[in-house]
Amino acid sequence: MRGADVTQESLFTVAKLADFVPANHPLRSIRELADEALRRMSGLFSALYADTGRASIAPEKLMRAQLLQL
């Protein structure tokens, strides 16, 4: 089963993650491009995952993490 693509920022800190990245940093525009591409791929992700079972980590989260590492 496909997990949801949500963040739990308040679980770890009182500040939002966006507060740590300056407004004009290139990562912000990269994130917007990546989010749009992942939104378009959402239907494909849903088709690849089973409807039952324990929810996995959302594929969007995994792909964003890999993009950040690159």
8: in domain: no
Residue at 11 is within a domain: no
The per-residue pLDDT for range 1-49, each reduced to its tens digit, is 677 777 666 666 677 777 888 989 998 899 899 999 999 999 999 898 8
Query: What pLDDT shows up at residue 11?
Result: 65
Q: How far apart are CA 70 and CA 64, in angstroms?
A: 10
Residue 53 gets the label, from left (phi > 0), alpha (psi -120 to 50) or beta, of left
**Global model pTM greater than 0.75:** no
* 5 within some domain: no
d(CA 65, CA 62): 5
Residue 6: inside a domain, yes or no? Answer: no
CA dihedral of 7, 10, 12, 14, whole degrees rounded to 10? 130
Q: Which domain holds residue 32?
A: 23-67
Q: Give helix then strand counts, H and E, for the chain.
A: 4, 0
Domain tally for the chain? 1
